[in-house]
């Protein structure tokens, strides 16, 4: 395997994205930083930039860092991963791409969804309020789908789908085999 300079940058509210970012950095022997530690000027020396953030109401936390700088990032390989609670069906993944990126960004970014989890107890006050409103909405909804049922039960029992195996496609997309 050839060594390439890789940086992993992440933003994580409750630790799910952080754990995946750490697995990826370990496997690739890459440097790893939280988003607030990095400026766009810092990334020039890296061949591959990997950004990860949790999904919040469909948006990838901190994705503006990538999207606003897409022209600068074009000369690098850019990978984005999102973590969330949903199962990650093809439709859900297409929605994630279409609501976070325009066509040009989609062309320049390799996107992966890594299933995270949900821990109500670790949320900020604001997120607790938002999620309590969503819980009320779900409670009154008829014919919940499986994801919605899972979501409701996750309020009572933290749910954790993080699995190191889930990063293998992302890792394989950048490692050069000789
Ligand atoms: C306010 C709020 C909104 C969320 N919206 C979504 C969502 O749209 N899709 C999803 O799959 N998960 C959603 N989740 C679950 C988070 O994306 C999931 O817990 C993620 O792994 C968190 O990553 P982090 O702890 O690294 O920030 C939401 C969680 C909260 C608290």
| Cα-to-centroid distance, 128 and ligand 1 (Å) | 12
Amino acid 3: pLDDT: 52
Q: How confident is the model at residue 176 (pLDDT cuts 50, 70, 90)?
A: low
Q: What is the pLDDT of residues 26-80, one digit of tens each?
A: 999 999 999 999 999 999 999 999 999 999 989 999 999 999 999 999 999 999 9
CB–CB of 165/173 below 8 Å? Answer: no
| Cα-to-centroid distance, 43 and ligand 1 (Å) | 27
Pocket test for ligand 1, best of 11, 118, 166 (most atoms within 8 A of CB): 118
Please give the backbone phi and psi of residue 21, each rounded to the nearest 5 degrees, phi first.
-60, -40
Q: Strand, helix or coil at 18?
A: helix
pTM: predicted TM-score of the whole model, two decimal places: 0.93
Q: Is the CB of 61 under 6 A from ligand 1?
A: yes
Q: What is the pLDDT of residues 108-167, one digit of tens each?
A: 999 999 999 999 999 999 999 999 999 999 989 989 988 888 888 889 899 999 999 999
């Amino acid at each position: 395997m050839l060594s390439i300079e890789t940086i992993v940058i992440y933003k994580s509210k409750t630790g799910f994205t952080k754990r995946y970012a750490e697995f990826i950095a370990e496997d690739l022997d890459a440097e790893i930083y939280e988003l607030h530690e990095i400026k766009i000027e810092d990334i020039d020396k890296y061949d591959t930039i990997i950004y990860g953030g949790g999904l919040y109401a469909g948006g990838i936390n901190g994705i503006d860092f990538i999207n606003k700088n897409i022209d600068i990032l074009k000369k690098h390989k850019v990978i984005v991963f999102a973590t969330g609670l949903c199962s990650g069906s093809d439709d859900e993944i297409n929605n994630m791409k279409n609501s976070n990126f325009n066509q040009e960004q989609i062309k320049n970014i390799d996107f992966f969804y890594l299933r995270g989890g949900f821990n109500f107890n670790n949320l900020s006050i604001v997120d607790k309020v938002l999620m309590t409103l969503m819980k009320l909405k779900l409670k009154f909804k008829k014919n919940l789908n499986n994801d919605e049922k899972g979501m409701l039960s996750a309020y009572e029992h933290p749910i954790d789908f993080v699995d190191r195996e889930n990063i293998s496609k992302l890792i394989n997309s950048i490692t050069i085999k000789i």
